[in-house]
A and B are shown apart, each in its own frame.
Chain A
Amino acid sequence: MNTAPAASLPESARDANASLRRAISETRRRNAGKVRLAGLQGAGEPWQWCLGGALALGILMVLGLLLLVFWNGLVTFWPRPIEQVRLHDGTVVAGEPVRSQTFRPGQEVLAALDPAPRSGIERNDGMAARTLYRTGNYDLYGDDFRWLPDYEIAEVSRPWDLMLVERMEWGVFVGRIVAISSGGQRAPVGDVRSPDLIKRHEEARRRWQSIRALERGEIGAVNHRLEQERLRLRRASLANPEGGTALDAARQRFAEREAALKAQHQVLADRASGMRRAHEGDLVVLADAAGREKEMPLGAIVRFYPANDLSLAERLGVYLSRWGEFLLDEPREANTEGGVMPAIFGTFAMTLLLVLVVTPFGVITALYLREYARQGRLVSIVRISVNNLAGVPSIVYGVFGLGFFAYILGGSIDQIFFPERLPNPTYGTGGLLWASLTLALLTVPVVIVATEEALAAVPRSMREGSLACGASKWQTIRNIVLPRAMPGIMTGVILAMARGAGEVAPLMLVGVVKLAPELPIDGYFPFVHLERSFMHLGFHIFDVGFQSRNSEAGKPMVFVTTLLLIALIFAMNVSAILLRNRLKRRFQGSQF
């Protein structure tokens, strides 16, 4: 306030100032020599380089991982050539070369070798090269893959007529299509692109599809109704005393309906079995590279192509058709082939449900903590506990979800609402709903913390402006505070979503399965079945990569599925972020 010029200061004050200034510069001089660390920090350079380097390394590693997934995921479906290999002992093997490596052959193997290759290996420090071939033909040889050491190979060629045949069962077949036979008549196939073969194959596929549609659709519907009748009878028998008229009436009704439905079922089943007979009579004869023949229904072939005789356009066609199958179809062959549509759907549905649950729950909690609760020790304890919840291992949530949601909550729901289905659980076991709730619990701290921060960041002047207009506390929160905090809340939800969508461990306990028979949404009342178990991309990766009969066969699928999971989470995050930015633009204009 009083800023009089220094000259008018009394003499003593000026002396005091001067001595203080001297003391400070003295201390600085002394410290400059002593505190080396501070000096380094002051200069900054080495630390900056270290930190920058660490950051760059981290980013590089993440990029490398993404690139690896990306590349491997993208090339998986690209059709590769087939090599036909003749070994020294005369065996002929054909397959897609997958990768090569060097290895050290055992002593007894070396001893049995001819001198020429043996000396070659010895010159090489005892190392030899070998190549892994995807030979397929699991039904003939009990193996999908085979390592072939270089020293056994006499000749490698790429015959133009070798085919890669993808089948519904037994994995791929590598060999030639010899003939098609129906009704005992065998017609040889001369050309790899024989129009007759292609036409017959399309017909057979259509037939197979209509068999499946019939079995899933109409027969499934009849079975569903039959099951409903059975449940109705059981309900009646639980509700009414034995020997009463009501129960008798229900039994009577059930008998009538059952008879009618069974008759319907019979008609449909006859039709289906007729079609199945046609399916099984329409055969194709395959022969592997060594000439061993195999007969199978033409309709059980998904796709075939002459791998060494493809134009670029045809390759692209195969590639795209495989992607289409992957994205839109159901899995087959214990998940190592076919599509992942149910898993995409499951992941998506679960994440959506998770967001729907976690957002209101987290926001309401944060609103209470920040706006309504009396700030004191209790609220601090609650806040700390919430923060710590985020650090609990996720499998613990899985156990809790199974115990509390599925067994206690779901068990009670079954007792009350679905007694007729017991002992089969309806809600009393893992399912989509319980999985979402478990993950919501897991991720709710993220939303609470983000929302609290967003609420705290709403300027006081906004609240006061609203209150001064005569708005109540709730009106102020709803009209002013929440919209302003919305971008921050959305950030929390996005983080929660990303965490939830990538979580697998707890899901294995509360509802994710290897192969779900039905989607959680279908045409039967009530159309959305949240109690059903479901498939999940994360679990799919685990299952295909580490639980299948042949990890080599699952490997490409692991990459593609990982790519897909990353893409799905990325897409969901991007859309959430776009939404948030739109909100932000709406609520933050220029201030002056």
Chain B
Amino acid sequence: MNQTSATARPASIEFGPTVYHVSRGSHGEAVEISDFDLWYGAKQALFSISMGVEAGLVTALIGPSGCGKSTLLRCLNRMNDLIDGLRIRGRISVAGQDLYAPAADVIAIRKQMGMVFQKPNPFPMTIFENVAYPLRVDGIRHRAMIAETVERSLRGAALWDEVKDRLHESALGLSGGQQQRLCIARAIAGTPEVLLMDEPCSALDPIATAKIEELIDELRGQFTIVIVTHNMQQAARVSDNVAFMYLGRLIEYGDTDTVFTAPKNERTQDYVTGRFG
């Protein structure tokens, strides 16, 4: 593990350099990942990833299982800090600030980067309290403000009409799809700049999935969204840009149409056409 430079570089030799297409952005980059490596103990999971996430757009991370999509996503809000023996090298910056700078405030970073998980994880509280949680954590006591934020977030997550009469019932009584939308509402209640979603639909049925996709479409423009998905159609439907990863490397990155219709790398081609994965 001490010969990191020796193991990191040949990656590009084996798989060829990352293919970058023109991305669809026009507002500049919200997140800038440059030459990022990551090790779980002795095992390297990410190999010199470099990409910029366009502000206000939806960027999808695709790739076969175990290729490091979740790992990369969880680096964006430093969720990986909880793991023992994790080492990183390189730079991720959000709005020009280095996430992994020694002086960086992890809590402030996480407030900037909302996150939605694979399995809905509502807290065992009322629906209202779930959405109000990011505000409570900030120490906000102002009732009217909390109520307003909760309503705005629930409307934003297209859940308001379904739950407005049962705000003070347990969130655990909601259906899976509703729970996931509640988690989205919770994530946007903290007014983040970036929304990170790790396979948000993989535990849901097609109808609930369609609702979430619709919702992502509505949130486009308000937030920068990074979404991990296994579903090619979903990636094609919701994303503006796509990054294809393979064995910890970023293979191809660019606007969705180009990556899906005219991929340069053979592995990307195989994957998006469903030939492997």
Contact = CB atoms under 8 A, between A and B. Distances in A.
Interface of A: 1, 459, 461-472, 475, 479-480, 483-484, 586-592
A591 B123 contact: no
Given A465-B183, A588-B124, A589-B124, A479 B133 contact: yes
Contacts of B95: none
Nearest to A459: B121
B133 A466 contact: yes
Interface in B109-152: 110-111, 113-115, 117, 119, 121-124, 133-134, 136-138
Contact of A469 (B119, B133, B179): B133
Contact of A589 (B113, B137, B173, B176): B173
B190 to A, nearest CB: 6
A471 B135 CA distance: 10
A1 B79 CA distance: 30
B79 A467 contact: yes
A470 B137 CA distance: 7
B186 interface: yes
Given A461-B121, A479-B133, A480-B123, A468 B114 contact: yes
A465 B172 contact: no
A592 B133 contact: no
Contacts of A586: 124, 170
A592 B177 CA distance: 9
Contacts of A484: 124
A483 B124 contact: yes
| Interface-central residue, B124, B176, B190, by most chain A CB under 10 Å | B124
B124 A470 contact: no
Given A465-B117, A589-B172, A589-B173, A470 B123 contact: no
B175 interface: yes
Interface residues of B, number: 33
B172 A591 contact: yes
A588 B172 contact: yes
A465 B119 CA distance: 10
B48 interface: no
B44 interface: no
Contacts of A469: 110-111, 114, 133-134, 137, 186-187, 190
Given A469-B186, A469-B190, A470-B190, 9 more contacts: A464-B115, A465-B121, A469-B110, A469-B137, A469-B187, A470-B108, A480-B123, A586-B170, A589-B173
Contacts of B113: 468
B77 interface: yes
B107 interface: yes
A464 B176 CA distance: 18
11 contacts: A1-B276, A462-B123, A466-B133, A467-B82, A468-B114, A468-B117, A468-B187, A470-B134, A470-B137, A589-B172, A589-B173
A464 B123 contact: no
Interface in B157-185: 170-173, 175-176, 179, 183
A464 B79 contact: yes
A592 to B, nearest CB: 5
Contacts of A588: 124, 172
Contacts of B175: 592
Contacts of B133: 466, 469, 471, 479
A464 B172 contact: no
A586 B169 CA distance: 10
A467 B74 CA distance: 12
A592 B186 CA distance: 18
Contacts of B171: 589
Contact of A468 (B115, B136, B170): B115
